[in-house]
Structure 1
Amino acid sequence: MNGGGLVLLQVATLALLLATPAFAQTLPYHSDPSAREVLPSANAVPAIRFLTTADFPPFNFRDSSGELIGFNVDLAKRICAEVNVACTIQAWPWEQATNALSDSQGDALIAGLAMSDETGASFDFSSTYLALPGRFVTRAPDIGIFDASTLTGKKVAVRGGSTHETFLKRYLPEASIVPFDSEIEGLVAMRDGDADSFFGDAMRASFWLNENLDCCGFAGDPYFRPQLFGEGLAVAVPAGKDAIRHAIDWALVRLKDNGALDELYLRWFPVGFY
């Protein structure tokens, strides 16, 4: 998560904070809604020390006054409040954050650490709290008539070499793929009529749409392909720290059920990407 596309996220942050939530949708359930973790006792989890970074807007970053804010920051606070434990949130440079968690300088890392075989050797992960689907974007007049099953001869803009290009080649081979160096270039090409649609990361596309709602919008359904697009966002804890992980999972179910998770999503993502 803390890699390519960071500039896009930073540029979009101000627009996100000023926009209205009129185009957002509530979050779907990303975990089994029937699952109910047993909340560990206060003795097992007296506090949660969250670690994050300060360079990944709108998830975790510093505002003009230097205060640490963002979706992840608000979520960490809500988790602590739900579990009713003391809470601290400390920002680390990205390249040091996982080492800090391994060295017991925190109890949980909420900073978009990818779930992989490598990270899974050192950390356990909470339930996914934000999945990251792929989606098509088209010009406004085409939204209602878009059909992903009829892409023969249609130009689809995509970031070259991305997993979204892999998805198109694997599942929609009839599309005429037009690769671009960046997602922004692909979106602009679609907007200007040089491509019929764009396919890419829905979250990043939502930031661009936030400033281009007069021309374009999401079309068709979201595509959830964890093996290509990743499992989504989850909280990392040191391997074996089950009490902390269970408390976080318990809180996430509660926050979804009482609407708080949807509230945070609507606040930080005015153009919903589901």
Structure 2
Amino acid sequence: MFCESSRLTVTDSEISDFQRSGVEGREGSNITLLGTQIHDGGYYGVYLEDSALQMEGSTITNTSTGIKTARASLELKRCTLERNRNTGAYLFTTTASMQDTRFTENPSYNLLLSRSEVELEGCFMNSSIYNIYSLYSELIARNSTLRDTLKDAVHSIGGSLLVDGLVVKGAAQSAFDLNATEFVVRLCTIENVGHPPSGYPFSAFYMTVSRGEVSYTTIRDVGFAYLEMVRSSVQCWISRMEGAGRFSFALDLNSSVIVVESETSRPIPPGGGGPQLLRSRG
């Protein structure tokens, strides 16, 4: 299906055996997919350029990239992107909202972002090299679960990151690898990370030239250190950390700064007391 400067609604349908795109929208098209299955195709389940997509209760499987967008807006609710051959969704200069959506077994990236603004709520991701790979993007993730990656659960270069109520388990490298990123990690649980099948163990957080806050977060069973920092600064507020492989708290490198407030210190309510680097849009 191809749309150019058009409006398209597809309901309770099946789209398969296509060469390029199951659904393609260009030049200001507005596409709505409801209860639709897109599978067994070529490059993209959905391709958007200068267009908008609302997708609810739909599934994309066995394409090269489930969704690819450029200069687009995207809204996903209760969708599944699974077992695509490369990437679940690749968003370039896109504004996106994703709720209660599953990204599973997309082998390279479950979610790949470039210069985009993305908000996740209640999403689940597992079984990929990276669950989220973010380039110069603004990412907000709430009440979501990231599991079982061959590398990092979240890898961010530039931009900003706010995560609240995230569960990260089974990342073979780091839960968060942050390069030149401003971040807030709050009310999260990080378990069983930094244990690659072979080679040197990794830390829960690896930060290069980054700045941010970790608060009300539990970190346990880490291969190397809780926080590994290069020219970075971090404030840790009322967090619990236990079971690091080599360091009881943090490895501080090369002009880094860490400020720690223990669990016995004056309580700080969520959202207060620490640096406010990010806030939700709207």
Question: Where on the TM-score scale, by shorter chain, does this alignment land: which range?
Answer: under 0.3
Q: Relative contact order, CA 8 A, sep 6+: which one is greater?
A: 1
Greater helix share, 1 or 2?
A: 1
TM-score by length of 2: 0.18
TM-score by length of 1: 0.19
